Structure 1
Amino acid sequence: MDRFVGQARLEWWANHATCLEKYDIDITIAVDAVGTWQATGRHVNALDTTQREGWDFLMEMDPYFSIVFPGEDNSGILVRVFEAEDGTLTLMEAPDGTAP
């Protein structure tokens, strides 16, 4: 099993030209023998009130974000984000790379 522990950025795109928000996260990704990956993370810094309102609004509107890794060319992987009550984020790759 391969594993990555580091930082990444979640970006919420309104369309192909407009990124509304970016959130830095600490992330752990595990990849099994058949290439299926599972990821969990947390915001690098606690969200202030304004950021939290924006995050909650985007999550309610559409919980799909692009995840971008440092040094990459900004071509992110589309993921669905779930947030637990304790702030833990679970990321799942969108099945065909597009949000439903």
Structure 2
Amino acid sequence: MDRFVGQARLEWWANHETCLEEYGIDLTVAVDAGGTWRATGRHANALDTTQREGWDFLMEMDPYFSVVFPGKDSPGIFVRVVGAEDGTLTLTEVPDREVR
């Protein structure tokens, strides 16, 4: 994949068997000639108060998610998520599922 623009899903996994939460995101991913993976996005839908509290809790506890693309049966790409004040999310691939 050199570029992807569309919807994907962020999943927060407590362990290999338990996904605690999923968030739909609008995402733009680009891979440069050197193979560097860069992505930015936003929540696809505004989070209500309960969802926002859950999101903030997970981000504070451990901002690592799997990003899953539509139609893919793979477990996704392990990423670190950083949120900005304006709601923009920056996703950085974590090679080889580095220990958190």
Matched, 1:4 2:1: no
CA separation in 2, counterparts of 1:75 and 1:52? Answer: 25
Q: Specify the alignment match of 2:88 in structure 1.
A: 88
Q: Deviations over 1:28-64 (max 9, x none)?
A: 0111011111000000000000000000000000000
Query: Does residue 21 of the first structure (1) align with residue 2 of the second (2)?
Result: no
Q: Is the 8 A contact 1:78 1:94 kept in 2?
A: yes
**Identical-residue share of aligned pairs (%):** 79
Matched, 1:46 2:67: no
Q: Please report the TM-score for the alignment, with normalisation by the length of structure 2.
A: 0.94
2:70 aligned residue: 70
CA distance in 1 between partners of 2:76 and 2:3 (Å): 18
Alignment partners' CA distance in 2, 1:67 and 1:52: 19
CA contact (8 A) 1:82 1:89 kept: yes
Query: Structure 2 CA distance, aligned partners of 1:70 and 1:98?
Result: 24
Distance in structure 2 (CA, Å) of the matches to 1:99 and 1:27: 25
Contact between 1:42 and 1:87, CA under 8 Å: does it hold in 2? yes
Secondary structure of residue in 1 paired with 2:56: helix
Where do 5+ consecutive residues of structure 1 fail to align?
Answer: none
User: After TM superposition, what 4+ stretches of structure 1 lie above 6 angstroms from structure 2?
Assistant: none
Match of 1:36 in 2: 36
TM-score with structure 1 setting the length: 0.94
Cα RMSD of the aligned pairs, angstroms, is: 1.0
For 2:17 and 2:96, locate their aligned partners in 1 and report how far apart those are by CA, in whole Å. 21
C-alpha distance in structure 1 between counterparts of 2:32 and 2:81, whole Å? 20
